[in-house]
A and B are shown apart, each in its own frame.
Chain A
Amino acid sequence: MNNYSEKIKSVLTDLGLSLLSIVIALIVGTLFIFLTDKSPLDAYSALYIGAFGNFSAIANTLWRSTPLILTGLAVALPFRAGLFNIGAEGQLLMGGFTAGVVGFYFTSLPAFIHLPFAIIAGMLVGGLWGGLPGFLKAKMDVHEVIATIMLNHIAIALTINYGINIFRDTGRPATPRIMESASMFNFKNIMDYPLLSNLPFAELFAQPAIRLHINFFLALIAAVILWYLLFKTTLGYEMRAVGFNPDGAEYGGINASKGIITAMFISGAVAGLAGVGEVLGTHLSFMQGMDAGYGFTGIAVALIGQTHPIGVILGGILFGALAQGGLEMQFSGIPSEIVMLIQALVIFFVAALQVFKVYLAKRKAKGGVE
């Protein structure tokens, strides 16, 4: 019982610190806004309104956070197993490209086969792209950071540079548009489905500006599954043990290679799902620039979320809100450079305040001794 209240207390402290660091970042950001002769109040109200101001803004914040939650999870899981996955970007590209090709290549499949087929194909290829460095690490002790970075380069060349050129049919640097039967459910089309249109508040979603699609819920499900896997199963326990002390785990009878390969495979599949969602839900074709650095931002999302699946969801939403609100800031006249600067400040302070937490913990421990 006591254990629970301790836990809740520490979660609340974490949240409080994160909020505090956001406030500090915004205060520091005002200095830069003054450089532009604009009022910080206008700028920040634009940031807030853009991200949470009305229903469609909130929905779009969740939409923007979807790939970030998934890449965050793809970094967080191997992190628990003692691996640093820099390769989410490449896994996302491979997954997205596969889904894009499956999406346009098969022209006469019914939706209930085509869509799951495209999703699973994308996740599988992403998983293999992540599993390969896991295998190399486990069997030949190739460092996963180098392997994943190099696989990123290969993935970029293979999909954006080479793959698009093979399949494209117009001047557009993208694969042909996917079939209707492979596209993910978009909430703005909710009224087209008799079953869903009867749900309460369904009409709220039926705005053309809303871009939220079903992949956000797949991301939430992925987070819950990963949480269960990590903390409630033997495999998860083994992964965490390997991450904590690989030699000790091996000595204790845990098969470290199995944990490493599985963690990297699952992480690749999750990153692949991020790409799948962007292709089948957002852009409706695999296009140049769709990766937008999500794989790398995912590292920050995972670390801010303390590599805990629930934390990653919150971290992803924070980054999504900054992206969504940042655009609105540009409309209030803040140049895009300053917008990016403020986004970076928020991330910096959220990460840096972890230091403050460590300091608090140390002081408490000291107090205990004296």
Chain B
Amino acid sequence: MKKVLSLAIVFAFVMMVVFAAVPAAAQDTRVGIVLSTGGLGDLSFNDAAYRGLQRAEEELGISFDYIEPADPSEDQTALRRFASRGYDLVIGVGFQMADSLTTVAGEYPDTKFAHVDQFFEDIPENIVSLNFAEWEGSFLAGALAALTSESGNVGFVGGVDFALIHRFEGGFYQGARYINPDIEIQSRYADDFGDPARGREIALGMIDDGADVIYHAAGGTGSGVFQAAEEEDIYAIGVDSNQNYVAPGYVIASMLKKVDNAVFDTVKSVVEGNYQGGNNLYFTLADGGVDLTSLTEVGQPVLDAHENGTITDEGLETIREMKENVTSPYADRIAEIKEMIINGEIEVENWGETGRPDNL
């Protein structure tokens, strides 16, 4: 009886998938994504990966499903369910999923996998790993911070003290020093990616010590940094996604990590049949994988936030004014530096590999 019931349900599920999948022509590609524990709504890479899949759904006619695991024990089970149900591409997001993904990829050699944000030493043939040259983008953030700072004192708030975040810190540090070799740089770690209250405390402490531009690479903890910037009337720089609308007028730019583009490109490669597994890919300034938001124009995500009522007309106006008065004077300088990084005149060190220098 139980068997009949479960068979019936499996059948119903199959029918659902089959009939839901009628519209577009190339509708046969299915993508499953397992997000990292932060889940949707982190305004950061989970959201960005999701946007990439939404775009792929619209433009390439794929279909996708996502899972938000409640804790790391669920990662493997979730990945395996997608693989066992014959999804064409299974994506895992976040460094803590790397082990689980390797295990499951070993069990399903014919399924294609992708991973966001972890370099694989010994990468299996059916995994493509999407990494980002955060240090290059953060270099621009550091340069901008040093240019806009009046006190000659800038701050960096990191999520957790480890290699991935050291890449952001290192880029920021080198960028700020490039503009002003005597600049004072405060650097602190919150030990948490989801604790805005702690982010705010750290930022307030930095402001007390004279910082007037603060860059964060701390996920949800960063919203506390924005709050502190707004309270104390100083500037902040966002990370990962365009966060310029979060505290209108106080977030002067965001270092973009275009997880959405990388995910979209990977899906596209699967649809078009030229997926190349066994590679650690790096997306850089040169190919637009990392970048700084425009210093002169208001970006689309900000306009969208205005459209759906997240920010008011006034907020949008404040952001426009800020761009005009604060950041646009430096647009040419930053563009020049970006060009120099791309053609190799400036070499940015990756602290994720070289290690964080002890005497800062």
Closest CB of chain A to B81's CB: distance in Å?
6
Q: Indicate if the CB atoms of B107 and A208 lie closer than 8 Å.
A: yes
Bound-state Cα–Cα, A53 to B65, Å = 22
Asked if B107 and A282 sit within 8 Å, CB to CB, the answer is no
Residue A211 lies at the interface, judged by CB distance under 8 Å to chain B: yes
Q: Once the chains bind, are B67 and A168 in contact (CB under 8 Å)? A: no
Given contacts A209-B80, A331-B67, contact A165 B162 (CB under 8 A): yes
Contact A288 B73 (CB under 8 A): no
User: Is the CB of A336 closer than 8 A to any CB of chain B?
Assistant: yes
CB pair A327 B77 closer than 8 Å: yes
In the complex, whether B324 has a CB less than 8 A from a CB of chain A is no
Interface size for B (C-beta < 8 A) is 37
Given contacts A287-B96, A288-B96, A289-B37, contact A330 B68 (CB under 8 A): yes
B65 touches A331 (CB 8 A): yes
B303 at the A interface (CB under 8 A): no
CA distance A326 to B78 in the complex (A): 11
Given contacts A172-B96, A209-B80, contact A49 B6 (CB under 8 A): yes
A209 CA to B83 CA, complexed, in Å? 11
Specify which of A173, A290, A293, A332 is in contact with B160 (CB 8 Å cutoff).
A173
Q: Is the CB of A327 within 8 A of B69?
A: yes
* Given the contacts A161-B191, A171-B95, A172-B96, A282 and B163 also touching, CB distance less than 8 Å: no
Q: Is the CB of A323 within 8 A of B96?
A: no
In the complex the two chains form, is A64's CB within 8 Å of B70's CB? no
Q: Does B313 contact A (CB under 8 A)?
A: no
The residues of B that contact A326 with a CB separation of less than 8 Å are: 70
Q: Are A173 and B95 in contact (CB under 8 A)?
A: yes
Minimum CB–CB distance from B92 to chain A (whole Å) comes to 13
**CA gap between A326 and B71 in the complex, in Å:** 12
A-contact bits for B58-88, CB 8 A (1 contact / 0 none)? 0000000101111111101110110010000
* Chain B, interface SS category: helix
Verify B70–A323 contact, CB threshold 8 A. Answer: yes
B161 interface residue per 8 A CB criterion: yes
Q: Tell me whether A289 and B72 are in contact (CB under 8 A).
A: yes
Counting CB contacts under 8 A, is A234 at the interface?
no
- Which residues of chain B are within 8 angstroms of A287 by Cβ–Cβ distance? 72, 96
User: Is B164 an interface residue when CB atoms closer than 8 A count as contact?
Assistant: yes
* B39 interface residue (CB < 8 Å to A): yes
| Complex alpha-carbon distance, A77 and B70, angstroms | 28
Q: Does B9 contact A (CB under 8 A)?
A: yes
B contact residues around A60 at 8 Å (CB): 77
A171 to chain B, nearest CB (A): 4
Given contacts A289-B96, A331-B67, A336-B68, contact A170 B74 (CB under 8 A): no
What 1/0 mask marks residues of chain A from 283 to 296 whose CB sits below 8 Å from any chain B CB? 11001111011000
Cβ–Cβ < 8 Å partners of A283 in chain B? 72-73
Fill in one digit per residue for A329-345: 1 if any B CB lies within 8 Å of its CB, else 0: 01111001000100000
Residue of chain A at shortest CB distance from B160: A173
- A45 contacts the other chain (CB 8 A): yes
Band of interface residues on A: 35 or more
Chain A residues whose C-beta falls within 8 Å of the C-beta of B277 in the assembled complex = none
Alpha-carbon distance between A292 and B72 when the two chains are bound, in angstroms: 8
Distance, CA A172 to CA B95, complexed state (A): 6
**Which residues in B have their C-beta under 8 angstroms from that of A293?**
71
Roughly how many angstroms separate A222 CA and B9 CA in the complex, as a whole number? 39
In the complex, how many angstroms separate the beta carbon of B106 from the nearest chain A beta carbon?
A: 9
A278 to B72, CA, bound (A): 11
Check if A330 sits within 8 Å of B98, measured CB to CB: no
Interface residues in A46-103 by Cβ distance below 8 A to B read 49, 53-54, 60, 64
Is B318's CB within 8 Å of the partner chain A?
Answer: no
B73 engages A64 (CB within 8 Å) = yes
B278 contacts chain A at the CB level, 8 A cutoff: no
Alpha-carbon separation in the docked complex, A132 to B209 (Å): 39
- By the criterion CB–CB under 8 Å, are B72 and A290 in contact? yes
Task: Chain A residues near B95: list those with CB within 8 A.
Answer: 171-173
Residue B210, interface by CB 8 Å: no
- Could you say which of B6, B80, B96 has the most chain A C-beta atoms within 10 Å of its C-beta? B96
Residue of A nearest to B106 (CB): A208
Complex: how many Å from CA A173 to CA B94? 11
- A299–B6 Cα distance when bound, in Å, is 34
| Residue numbers in A under 8 Å from B69 (CB-CB) | 327
Distance of A325 Cα from B80 Cα, bound (Å): 15
Residue contact B72 to A168, C-beta cutoff 8 Å: no
Chain B residues whose CB sits within 8 angstroms of the CB of A330 once the complex forms = 67-68, 78
Any A CB within 8 A of the CB of B152: no
Whether B70 contacts A331 by the Cβ 8 Å rule is no
Given known A209-B77, A287-B96, A288-B96, contact A168–B71 (CB-CB < 8 A): no
A45 x B70 contact (CB < 8 A): no
CB distance B163 to A170 under 8 Å? yes
What residues on A are CB-neighbors of B74 within 8 Å? 323, 327
Q: Verify if B352 is at the interface (C-beta below 8 Å from A).
A: yes
Query: A333 — nearest CB in chain B belongs to which residue?
Result: B65
CB contact list, A119-176 vs B, under 8 A:
160-161, 165, 168, 170-174
The answer, among A161, A171, A288, A328, for a CB contact under 8 Å with B163, is A171
Is B135 on the interface with A (CB-CB < 8 A)? Answer: no
Give 24 pairs: A residue, B residue, CB < 8 Å, sorted on A: A42-B12, A49-B6, A49-B9, A60-B77, A64-B73, A168-B162, A170-B163, A171-B118, A171-B162, A171-B164, A172-B96, A172-B118, A174-B96, A209-B84, A282-B73, A283-B72, A284-B99, A288-B96, A292-B70, A292-B71, A293-B71, A323-B74, A326-B70, A327-B78
Give me 7 other A-B pairs in contact (C-beta within 8 A), A172-B96, A290-B71, A323-B70 excluded: A45-B9, A173-B162, A283-B72, A289-B37, A289-B96, A327-B70, A327-B77
